[in-house]
Structure 1
Amino acid sequence: MMLSEVIERELELTGGILFGRETIVYRGSYNGNNFLGKNSSDEEPDQRGYWPVERWILSLVEAQNPVKLTGEGLTKVQGYDFSFLDAVNACEERLLGTFRDSWPLIKVLDIGGKLTQTSFGTNEIPPIPAHIHAGCTKDRNNQISCGKAEAQFFPFIPKDSSPITRMGFKKEVSKEMLLEAMNEFGKSDALYNLMNEYEVKEGECWMVRPGFVHAPGPVLTIEIQRPQDDFNFLAWKLGERINADQLVSMKNDNQLRGLQNVEEFVDRCIDWEMNVDPKSETIWKTNKRVFKHTESFEMSKIFHDMFDGEEWLIKKGKNLYYENDCSPKGIGDFHNS
């Protein structure tokens, strides 16, 4: 039986729904709080030294880790051995209509780890290392315009917690200061001290355009992004040092990734004006906005700018019935009970 026929049969059986298996992606650059799996600093990593810290939702994208596993990141269709990508390739119009180019990569990020002391005097749970999305740098062939845009939403903050997220640079930072800090990759925390710090609040969303430096804070995060997995780290894990015998390979694999040096990195990958703009917080950060409230549920807009997304909160003991229309832009029909 052809794959398209298998998919048609499955859609008939499920009433038009194609279910995906849970898709977990491992990373070696940060730890979690054991929300998505055994991923805290006390847990053992896999054979690559990576932990299960990201859940990808109906992904058409393969993870681009320095040490790759074939198919990592691609969602498998529930009950079958083929991937969602295989299914879309076989039945694109049936599954996504004309919206394949708009299909995003959605992630749940479990960011955390142990409290660590930094070289500039703070005690913090490390964020994801400071990084940039500026397109593929393999063979030095990147362009910021092809970089990954993303948005980060914080659905809840644990009690008695004040996590810090870092976005862009302090206004007094110069390119010379940045280059000096980037040359300390794996040897110091100097770069983090150049970045703006913001206390994460529940219900906030940050828009991260290509070329914007960010170190997402240690809190459960819902992330939506262009369907690609490009990244270049400016610095390594906060509070962690890389052994001298591994420094060159780690720098090449995680920072330069095909670029010649940090000077080329700064010149080609960083939108300087965006990163030192003192108005960044007012431009790129928003709060969720409630647009529908009933006795049964509350709906809020959580993403903005290049993305659109909603949070649906169904009250205890209540139900929400939703009938979809033919377009991802449509709001459908809602019924209370």
Structure 2
Amino acid sequence: MANVAELAAAALTHGGGILRLAPTWVPRSFLQPGRRLKLHPADYYALGAHRGGIDERWFASTTPAANEGATPDEGLSYCVHDGQRFTLQDAVGELGAEMVGEAIWGEFGRWPVYSKFFDNMGPIPHHMHQNAEQAKLVGQEGKPESYYFPPQLNAIGNNFPYTFMGLEPGTSKQDVIDCLARWDDGDNGILDLSKAYRLKPGTGWLIPPCVLHAPGSLVTYEPQWGSDVFGMYQSLVEG
């Protein structure tokens, strides 16, 4: 195979400055696919039932998916050119500023963001993404993210088009600790401390790090920082 720098440069030239990437599909073992991502019905469990159904499509990703049992390149975007393929991660590493621009390369030395569609039949468990200081303790980066609910992909809302967000005023640290202590008792009751908001296609919001959220069942476009770090606070969903 030609070296990545040559392949990436040729692919950029061929695309008129646009690097065309192959679809990147990611499963989540704790969720049920919403089946609105235009994936062939036979392919939702293409990686095996033990890996879970494919419910996410990642775009322009140089971030590996933090999934148990994942291959090292799960979540990474690939470019296919002239019968050969290479990761966007490797292309950025080889071409640097030529690929991502002087400002981004100078500050981060990589492509530091990616985006995705996620599409689930029901809600995602109440969870949060650590900030930079917290994530650094486990060798990761913090993760702010934002959501947009595209009307074109949300003709139906599936099972629960509402998102629980944050904690209700008056919730104490001990209340949360008590919920976590009930993790193996079934539903640990963390949602009793939160409030749900109805999702409206054509709208969206920003989720800073450290904010608990349980995203609802609309197809969601999610630009985010290049990290897959998270902490789960809800023990059981739709159980």
TM-score range (shorter-chain normalised) is 0.7 to 0.9
* 1:137-152 correspondence runs (5 A): 141=137, 146-152=141-147
- Contact 1:29-1:237 at 8 Å conserved across structures: no
Query: Which contiguous aligned blocks of 4+ residues in structure 1 show a shift greater than 4 angstroms?
Result: 42-45, 135-140, 159-162
Q: TM-score, normalised by structure 1?
A: 0.60
State which of 158, 168, 185 in structure 1 corresponds to 2:155: 158
Change over 3 Å in CA distance of 1:43–1:7 after alignment to 2: closer
Q: Which amino acid aligns with 2:88?
A: F
Give 5+ residue unaligned stretches, structure 1: 113-125, 241-337
The equivalent residue for 1:22 is: 23
Q: Which has the higher contact order (CA 8 A, sep 6+)?
A: 2
- Contact 1:38-1:52 at 8 Å conserved across structures: no
Deviation at 1:238, TM superposition (A): 1.3
Question: Counterpart of 1:77 in 2: which secondary structure?
Answer: strand
Question: Counterpart of 2:86 in 1: which secondary structure?
Answer: coil
State which of 92, 100, 106 in structure 2 corresponds to 1:88: 92
Give, in whole Å, the separation in 1 of the partners of 2:209 and 2:167.
Answer: 15
- Contact 2:147-2:204 at 8 Å conserved across structures: yes
Change over 3 Å in CA distance of 1:176–1:128 after alignment to 2: same
Question: Counterpart of 1:177 in 2: which secondary structure?
Answer: helix
Question: Counterpart of 1:82 in 2: which secondary structure?
Answer: strand
Q: Which amino acid aligns with 1:15?
A: G
Deviation at 1:128, TM superposition (A): 0.7
The question of 1:170 aligning with 2:165 is answered no
Give, in whole Å, the separation in 2 of the partners of 1:38 and 1:207.
Answer: 31
- Contact 1:134-1:230 at 8 Å conserved across structures: yes
Give, in whole Å, the separation in 2 of the partners of 1:132 and 1:158.
Answer: 28
Give 5+ residue unaligned stretches, structure 2: none
Deviation at 1:3, TM superposition (A): 2.3
- Contact 1:153-1:223 at 8 Å conserved across structures: yes
Question: Counterpart of 2:177 in 1: which secondary structure?
Answer: helix
State which of 125, 129, 133 in structure 2 corresponds to 1:129: 125
Question: Counterpart of 1:33 in 2: which secondary structure?
Answer: coil
- Contact 2:62-2:226 at 8 Å conserved across structures: yes
Q: Which amino acid aligns with 1:127?
A: P
Instruction: Report the RMSD for the aligned CA atoms in angstroms.
Output: 3.0
Deviation at 1:86, TM superposition (A): 0.7
Deviation at 1:185, TM superposition (A): 2.1
Q: Which amino acid aligns with 2:126?
A: A
The equivalent residue for 1:291 is: none
Give, in whole Å, the separation in 1 of the partners of 2:217 and 2:136.
Answer: 31
Deviation at 1:138, TM superposition (A): 10
* 1:1-337 correspondence runs (5 A): 1-36=2-37, 37=39, 46-79=48-81, 80-98=84-102, 99-100=104-105, 101=108, 103-112=112-121, 126-134=122-130, 141=137, 146-156=141-151, 157-158=154-155, 163-186=161-184, 187-240=186-239
Question: Counterpart of 2:31 in 1: which secondary structure?
Answer: coil
The C-alpha deviation readout for 1:129-172, integer Å capped at 9, x for no partner, is: 1111115899992599x521001111124358771111101113
